[in-house]
Structure 1
Amino acid sequence: MTVFEGSKVVVLGGESGLLGQALMNALQHAGANTVGTCRASLDPMDNDALTAFLEREEPRIVFNTVAHTQVDAAESEPDLSQRLNTTLPERLGKHSLEMGFLLVHFSTDFVFNGQNEQAYTEEESAEPLSVYGKTKHRGECRLLEMNLERVLIIRTAWLFGPGRDNFVSKMLRLAQTRDTLSVVHDQTGSPTYTPDLAKHTLQLVESGATGLFHIVNSGQASWCELAAETVRVAGLDCRVEAINADQYPVKAARPTNSQLSTEKFTMVTGVTPRPWTQALRDYVYTDLSEELPGD
């Protein structure tokens, strides 16, 4: 019997979020009594409503996937980014302390400045470049400063998966209508399949781990390499050309290299995440099969 079987579990953002939906599916398969939310059913910034919801549900575990993830928009909306990425996790930490549930909070590779040549470990200093990265890092810090006994912070990156539009699905859609795609090649990270992330998150919870961990699929890629592999796997006749980031100007600064090391996760669980290229094939061939052109 797992820690999830028969347990009441809340997934904030579970009804509509990319990661939230994957967690809901994994938890349901694990036998959890799972309750998901979306912005329409619960305003996470209404603290009275959040408190009443948690007191009513009495969860054993709360997964927080709610965040302001629009990196460029966050530059113009720092207050909203602060409320969702910093204030909300802090409030959840206080509720965890009062109610005794395990809080699993998700963070990002964008807490790093991207100057490393190797993958970042959990022990390395964060130095975010953007409003998004800074507010997510402050959310981490607030939780860690509270010295909670039951908190798990998971940094992840470059998510793709079923249930919501993402970089891979957008590239696939564009490649069906264009001869050429120009994609940034001088930013490298860790592409991550949300069903794999959800599975590994549950494994980490099962291990009894607390504190800060990285979970991503194995391997690395630039945005251009991820797009090119997507097009190749889908069998589409579209050329993917590499461009530098300065040829595609955006509001928010991005880390040049934001690869995340999963060695700590593997040491605790004994599990090594599979390569992102394998996960991508599952996503394209299974999750997106209806969107591919017929023979």
Structure 2
Amino acid sequence: MPVSRPELQPALALTFNAFVWGCSWWPFRQLEALGLHPLWATALIYAVAVAVILALRPRALGQLLGTPVLWLLVLAAGTTNAAFNWAVTVGDVVRVVLLFYLMPLWAVLLARLLLHEALTRLAALRVLLALAGAAIVLWPPGGGALPLPRTLPDWLGLLGGFSFALNNVLLRREAHRPEEGRALAMFGGGMLVAGALAIALGAAGRVAPLPAPAPAWLLGAATLALLFLAGNLALQYGAARLPANVTAVVMLTEILFASVSALLLGGGALSPSLVAGGALILLAALLAAAGPAASG
């Protein structure tokens, strides 16, 4: 899809956001090596974002507290970030990102359930392509078993993609709400859900406790928080100036950034099944972007 000169800067802004997210697995792994579990890292990173939003838009807190439906967005956005960041830290990055991008499947089902959108032929085709791609990615190497998630990163990648699709559907349904309230719900979700999980799993001995303050991980977490903030600002700038279908296509470059960085830095490996399944999942995502209004 060609991008005209006036659209170049917004497209570059979206590409920057995709780059930040696609390569975020590496700093998360560096922080984990310093003793900071990805759940703690996510909670701290989004706590910085929440502090910035409240400092600049203090009325956002009243909007969130006074709008119960926004707490669904808190849960969806928080689950997305906690699941994705944890998955890419401990799993094969390429595999996790592909499973995460089964969003066209979940988006069709959730839009039908929550927005009462019709199930069109194009939407049904996207579902079939996404399901076929997922089956190929998840099929056991030796065969003889159902293509189901087999590891924690698999489950987290699927959960992250589902909750991201729910996040996007809720954003569309609540688009009339004030922007700062929705932004606080999304960033607050990253802080609250990841923090609650870290505390609960820590009490059960499944997650290492928050390490003692040290310059290395504090600086790393602060830098990543600033990158995520810059990426979010770039996303808002680009998405506000480009058609929704163009935005969706540009954002798919996250798969490219994640895959290339993982292959270069040892965070993942390609296999024939990943290539074949990933091609079908990517095709489903592209059809979603090219569909009418990038939705149905």
TM-score range, shorter chain: under 0.3
Greater percentage in helix: 2
Of structures 1 and 2, the one with the larger relative CO (CA 8 A, separation 6+) is: 2
User: Which structure shows the bigger proportion of residues in strand conformation?
Assistant: 1
